[in-house]
Amino acid sequence: MPVNRFRYVIAYDIPDDRRRAGVARALEGHGERVQYSVFECLLQTKQFDALWEELSELVEEGEDSLRVYRLCAACEEWTR
């Protein structure tokens, strides 16, 4: 049975050095850094949920910006 994995683009803007470093460390364990504050991660839904929970504990709501975009199959084919 095939495993469904999705490509997620995760970007962040975090002014605090310590929180920013923690988010980067968490993401490095799950994906590839494609820009300084942008990662691409190929994850199963369960893996993404666990990562999102971890990231949510690291960021400060109202101060930090954390964005996630899940690419559909057609978008993923188009991505360069």
Using 50, 70 and 90 to split pLDDT, how confident is the model at 4? confident
Q: What are phi and psi of 68, to 5 degrees?
A: -130, 135
The Cα–Cα gap between 54 and 57 comes to 5
Q: Which of 4-8, 45-49, 76-80 has the lowest mean pLDDT?
A: 76-80
pLDDT number for residue 38: 98
pLDDT tens digits for 11-54? 999 999 999 999 999 999 999 999 999 999 999 999 999 999 99
pLDDT number for residue 72: 75
pLDDT higher than 70, residue 80? no
